[in-house]
Amino acid sequence: MKEKINRSIWGNLIVSFVLIVVAIFMALPLVYSIMNAFKPLDELFLFPPRLFVRKPTFKNFSDLFYLMSTSFVPFSRYIFNSIFISFFGTLGHVLIASMAAYPLAKHRFPGSKILFNLVIFSLMFSGYVTNIPRFIIMSKLHLLDSYLSLILPYIGATLGLFLMKQFMEQIPDSYIESARIDGANEFKIWWYVIMPNVKPAWLTLILFSFREIWNDTYTPALYIHNEALKPFSLALTYIQQGGFVRAGAGAAAAVLMLIPSILIFLITQSNVMETMKSAGIKG
């Protein structure tokens, strides 16, 4: 127990107490939404309201499926759209951002510093700043109302490239040297030498990119008018605004929305931590 030299018992008690109280605050809304998803209608509008469910039911889920199957666009279509854009947006981002990160981390060529500084600089303002011109550009490129309008901007997202480049810097140059001596070109080095060595980084990118696309309601609301192309996140906000009758179905949809992100985090957690170790910005 070498690490615990300076720890007092009282300190440990206080620390544990604080951690538990805050954990309850963080978990409560999530627990509440999961509970709501299984509450029958009379429990949803019970007075006084109750956090925990007494007679759990799957009716909200069947209501949700019913509601969505009778709607103009079938429920499965929203789910498909979400999965489609999340999958290709994430895949594209992981491949293309890591392809660009390799030379930025390991080569020195005219412009490389400026380009990377631009990337760091763009971490400093939120995407909202670019929304209006981006919308105009989208419409000029005739990309509005297409899957591409939802996929392409995520592929060019900045956080992923930044994390990838920082992580790649740790790979010993000797790996690259020896591959070069064996006659591999840079593309091959990227694919066969770099990518297998940065597995934690691309798992992290998968998590961040998926989380971003899956939860986004703002971008699709802006670029997509065709109901058949809208993602689940957007459909969810509509059910949400549907009021009383749909409260149960809304709670069920929220739970469906939650599951994939949490699952991906559980799978990638240790790798994410590995990647974030190199996420710093020096000065």
Task: Give CA–CA dist 249/69, Å, rounded.
Answer: 13
Tokens of 104: 């930025």
- Applying CB under 8 A, among 13, 21, 118, 245 the residue interacting with another protein is 118
57 vs 122 by CB, closer to another protein: 122
Determine, following the binding rule CB under 8 A, whether residue 131 of this chain makes contact with another protein. Answer: yes
Query: Residue 135, SS3?
Result: helix
70 vs 162 by CB, closer to another protein: 162
| Distance (Å) of CA 163 to CA 147, 221, 267, 269 | 26, 28, 19, 15
CB 151 within 8 A of CB 84: no
Determine, following the binding rule CB under 8 A, whether residue 8 of this chain makes contact with another protein. Answer: yes
| Binding span for another protein by CB under 8 A among 55-63, 66-74, 172-180, 185-193 | 185-193
| Binding span for another protein by CB under 8 A among 66-74, 83-91, 170-178, 269-277 | 269-277
Angle at 98 between CA 94 and CA 102, to 5 degrees: 175
- Applying CB under 8 A, among 158, 171, 197, 227 the residue interacting with another protein is 158
CB atoms within 10 A of CB 270: 9
What's the one-letter identity of residue 2? K
Residues between 160 and 179 that touch another protein (CB under 8 A): 161
Task: Give CA–CA dist 96/64, Å, rounded.
Answer: 37
- Applying CB under 8 A, among 1, 9, 42, 48 the residue interacting with another protein is 48
- Applying CB under 8 A, among 9, 42, 181, 185 the residue interacting with another protein is 185
Packing angle between helix 75-106 and helix 59-70, nearest 10 degrees?
A: 90
Closest CA to 246 of 231, 256, 236, 260: 236
CB 214 within 8 A of CB 260: yes
70 vs 117 by CB, closer to another protein: 117
- Applying CB under 8 A, among 107, 113, 142, 199 the residue interacting with another protein is 107
Determine, following the binding rule CB under 8 A, whether residue 142 of this chain makes contact with another protein. Answer: no
| Binding span for another protein by CB under 8 A among 52-60, 62-70, 170-178, 232-240 | 232-240
Residues between 61 and 90 that touch another protein (CB under 8 A): none
Q: What is the DSSP letter of 48?
A: S
Q: What is the DSSP letter of 106?
A: H
Determine, following the binding rule CB under 8 A, whether residue 283 of this chain makes contact with another protein. Answer: yes
Q: Draw the binding track, 246-265, toward another protein (x: CB under 8 A; -: no contact).
A: --------x--xx--xx--x
Determine, following the binding rule CB under 8 A, whether residue 240 of this chain makes contact with another protein. Answer: yes
Determine, following the binding rule CB under 8 A, whether residue 197 of this chain makes contact with another protein. Answer: no
